[in-house]
Each structure stands twice: as C-alpha cells, then as structure tokens.
Amino acid sequence: MGDEIRKRHFDAEDFSHFRRRLNAETVLVGELFGGDGFSHRGDIVGFELEAWIVDVQGQPHPHNQRLLEEIANPLVVPELAAFNVELNGSPTALSGNVFSRIHDELSATWETCRAGADALGCRLATVGILPTIRPDLLNSNYMSALVRYQALNDRILALRDGDPLRIRITTGEGLDMTHEDVMLEAAATSFQIHLQCKPERAVRDFNAALVASAPMVALAANSPFLFGQSLWEETRIPLFEQAVSVGHRAPARVTFGTGYAAESLFEIFAENQREHPILLPFVQPDEPAHKYSHVRFQNGTIWRWNRPLLGFDYDGQPHLRIEHRVVPAGPTIRDCVANVAAFLGMVRGLVDAEEPVESRLEFADAKDNFYAAAKFGLDAKLKWIDGRTHRARDLLGETLLPLAAAALAKLEIPQREIDRYIGTAQARVETGQTGASWQRAWVAKHGADWAALTCAYVDAQESDEPVHSWTL
C-alpha cells in the first residue's frame, strides 16, 4: 500500500485479473517457504515514524506537500492526511551500536523536517493521537493528493454498502460516533518497527512478537484522548481497528490475528488470499510473478498489528520480515529508539528460551493481554507464562526488560547501548510516566485545553529529554 496506483475506479475485469495474479503468486510464495528461497541474512532492523504537522497554536496544519517540497528528502513521504508525514529509516544490522545508529539517522531526518517546518512557520509532533484533531478535519478535503487513498476510501465504503463508519469506545469517558470516510485512520499515528528474520527462526520471532505486543503497548502508550474524550491509554488501537472496518460480512482488516503461526508464516499469506476480499485490485501487468507484487499489495491492505512482509535484499534475494505496528509515535526520538531496543530484546529473549513461548501462553491470553494493555497501560493485568497474572509495570520492570537487556548482551550489543536505551525504557516503567500518563497529568493540572496541551507537549518533545523526565 506504500506504492501509488494509477487509477481510482475498478471494474470486474480488474478484480478477475488481480485474483488470477494473486492466486498464481501465492503458489510461488508457498514454494519459497517450502524450499530454501529466503535470504538468511536476518536480524536486520528498520523503522517508520509517522508525525503530525501543527501550526503555532498546536492545530493540525494540512500542508505536508509544502513541507515535502521544502525538505526534498526521499526518506520523508506523505501519509493519508495532509497534516501527516512519514519518516523512514535505512535497514541496519542488529549488532554493535545498532541503537545509536538508528538514533543518529532518525535524529538527522527529524532535524531536517523540523528545519523545514520552521521555515514554513509550523512545527512537528510525534504523538499517537494529536489532542487537537477534530472530526471535521478528517474528510477528503484534507486527504493527501494520492490516488491510492481516494481508492481506499471508495472501496471500504463500497464494502459497507455506503454505511458510515462507527467508532464506539466504552472504556473511560466513552465515545460513540459515526463518520463518513476512512480519514479517521489518519488520527492514529505510529512508530513501526521492522525485523528481518532468518527463515529458520521466523515462526518463533513472529509468535514472540505477538506475545510482546501487550507489554510494548503498556510501555509505549501515548494516545489517551480522542476528540476531547478521555479513553484508552492507547486509544489508537480501537480507533484504527474501527476506522477501516469493512463491516460484518468479511474479516477485520485491522486485527491482532487469528492464532499463532504453526509451521510457517505462509499460513498468513494463504489466509490473506483465502479469507480477505480484494480491497484494491491494482493490477501490475509488467511485474514478473517472482516479484510477488499482487501478494504484497494484498498483504498491504490487511493491517495486522504484527504483519509479516515479503521484501528483497540489495541483491534481489527475497526476505521475510515482521512489521510490529503496535507502538504509537513519540514522545521523543530517544523514546522511540528505546522502544526499538525493548521490542527487539524481548523478542530475542523470548525466542532464546528453550521452550517456545507460544506453548506456554495461549493465543487467547496473548490477545486479551494486548487489549488490556491498550486500555490500562502500565496498570493492566497481564497473564504470563508462569500461569500468574501480573501488573504490566511489574512484569516489564522485573522480568521483561531485564530479559531484553540480557538477550541484547548475548548479541554483543555494547553495554553502554543497553544501559542507555533499555535504561530509558526502565526509567519510564519505574516512574510510571508514559506519554499517555504525562498527558493525563497535564490535563489534571491545567484543564482540558487541547491546544495548550499540544503546545506543551511539543515544547517538551523539542527538549529531546525522554518522557519519563518531563515536568508539568
């Protein structure tokens, strides 16, 4: 779905042609999994950071095209809404000073964007849900000028027979509303972490990512408010799931999944082909079958919170990676990199255990943990592999972050890297101050002035001090 498409409207022939290509390529992907077709390079890390553009009053500023022209950086691309951009990173090996490398590159790109924003009289914010976003701004007038977004909106509403989207969130103050298009999705911005897998470890990496999702949401929560209502600690989760809902006649497009992977991640690509209607039949007739373009495009329209992706190494060899989508944007670049370290360390630590984590924690429990963590953050009660229920804050501080640190040390990551980035995550747990809890505390002290909250948040963000040290 990151690729632009050439047409907005499709006919029956497009769907038939796309289906034929999808079916044929899915067979070839199955052969990749069945043989030794994937790159063995593995343990390579990447990221995508979505950001908001705001004016000096903290209001959404819908001019991403002007900003993109100002900075002219190929690593920065448009997102669904004209007040969002996405910053991308170069792949880097999970070795040595990996987190400093990520930090340095992301900081450099971020500073380029900030300088461009300053030249245009605006600012940038990385926060899961911008406190000042309003429903009246989430319409096609503020959509980025890309055909794929217009086509996506058309198709989702068509699958719903024109019924408006409904957002219903009951935890907290509650929210029950309808909306006429998929621009609601733009209200949720994330920091997506990519891990390229060695093929022999891909199933365990993927299942460990599923289990790690709940503690990662609790650790990173940064989306407590939506349209003036106090809701989940990570309200981005229910918002995104409902913002692109195709209704009850087809499986959800945004989901925690239907189970652990058993034998290979091909099970998920087969499920994509078998269970999910084609959303956008973007036929690419000039693409050879071994590029798997239609499999990859279909997969790109199904937004699992942990999504396997097919890609290619620099030499053209196919690779397999996991896109971990549960983490919200922000609060600072250092917090983002600490989240990378925590996630990769947890995954590697869980995979290194002799007994597979998926055999010790039922999938239903991992899924329940995920939504509990999204609702209650560090105070969530999570069922763990020891058969006991733990507060997320305790599980992270006493078990999972030490596990992550030890696993990274086994990879010969320098201790100073581990101390800095896992230490940042640990300090967040010890203080209990995530981006979400800081926003709640600010409102408790100063009142529900969403513009003032946004400006205070951006001011704190620009200090480059991690969120656990922010004051009110």
Q: What is the pLDDT of residues 416-438, one digit of tens each?
A: 999 999 999 999 999 999 999 99
Helix (H, G, I), strand (E, B) or coil at 450: helix
Helix (H, G, I), strand (E, B) or coil at 110: helix
- Whether 5 is covered by a domain: the verdict is no
Q: What is the pLDDT of residues 360-415, one digit of tens each?
A: 999 999 999 999 999 999 999 999 999 999 999 999 999 999 999 999 999 999 99
- Whether 3 is covered by a domain: the verdict is no
Report DSSP letters for 153-205, one per residue. Answer: HHHHHHHTTTPPEEEEE-STT-EEEEESSGGGGGG--BEEEEEEEPGGGHHHH
Q: What is the pLDDT of residues 15-47, one digit of tens each?
A: 999 999 999 999 999 999 999 999 999 999 999
- Rounded to 5 degrees, φ, ψ at 458 are -65, -40
Tell me the mean pLDDT in the region 323-331.
98
Q: Give the Cα separation of 408 and 95 in Å (integer).
A: 9
What is the chain's Cα-based Rg? 21
307 in Cβ contact with 323 (< 8 Å) = yes
Of the candidates 306, 166, 181, the residue with the CA atom closest to the CA atom of residue 239: 166
- Whether 402 is covered by a domain: the verdict is yes
Whether the bond between 308 and the residue before it is cis, its omega within 30 degrees of 0, is: no
- Six token digits for residue 295: 């499999």
- Whether 4 is covered by a domain: the verdict is no
- Whether 329 is covered by a domain: the verdict is yes
How many domains does the chain contain in total? 1
| 7 has pLDDT over 80 | no
Helix (H, G, I), strand (E, B) or coil at 330: coil
Burial 145-160 (b: 16+ CB within 10 A, else e): eeebbbbbbbbbbebb
- Whether 56 is covered by a domain: the verdict is yes
Of the candidates 228, 239, 223, 130, the residue with the CA atom closest to the CA atom of residue 179: 239
Neighbours of 414 (CB within 10 A): 15
- Rounded to 5 degrees, φ, ψ at 268 are -75, -40
| 79 has pLDDT over 70 | yes
- Position 9 scores a pLDDT of 78
Query: What are the helix and strand counts (H, E) for the chain?
Result: 15, 14
By CB neighbour count within 10 A (0-12 exposed, 13-18 middle, 19+ buried), where does 391 fall? middle
381 in Cβ contact with 390 (< 8 Å) = yes
Helix (H, G, I), strand (E, B) or coil at 324: strand
- Six token digits for residue 241: 């799931």
Q: Enter the pTM of the model.
A: 0.96
Cα torsion angle, 133, 135, 138, 140, sign:
negative
CATH number at residue 255: 3.30.590.20
Residue type (1 letter), 375: K
Cα 407 to Cα 202, 219, 321, 323, 413, distances in angstroms: 17, 18, 20, 20, 9
- Whether 144 is covered by a domain: the verdict is yes
Cα 259 to Cα 94, 203, 210, 351, distances in angstroms: 27, 12, 9, 17
The distance of Cα 322 from the centroid of its chain, to the nearest Å, equals 11
347 in Cβ contact with 212 (< 8 Å) = yes
Q: Which residues contact 392 (CB under 8 A, 6 or more apart)?
A: 214, 215, 218, 219, 373, 376, 377, 378, 379, 380, 381, 382
Domain, as residue range, for 302: 12-469
- Position 108 scores a pLDDT of 97
- Six token digits for residue 4: 């632009």
Of the candidates 327, 129, 137, 372, the residue with the CA atom closest to the CA atom of residue 235: 129
- Position 2 scores a pLDDT of 53
In 199-287 the beta strands, taken as DSSP E runs, fall at 225-226, 229-230
- Whether 1 is covered by a domain: the verdict is no
Tell me the mean pLDDT in the region 273-301.
93
Q: What is the pLDDT of residues 102-145, one digit of tens each?
A: 999 999 999 999 999 999 999 999 999 999 999 999 988 898 87
Helix or strand holding residue 309 (H, E): strand 306-312
| 210 has pLDDT over 60 | yes
1: confidence class by pLDDT, cuts 50, 70, 90: very low
407 in Cβ contact with 352 (< 8 Å) = yes
- Position 246 scores a pLDDT of 87
| 439 has pLDDT over 70 | yes
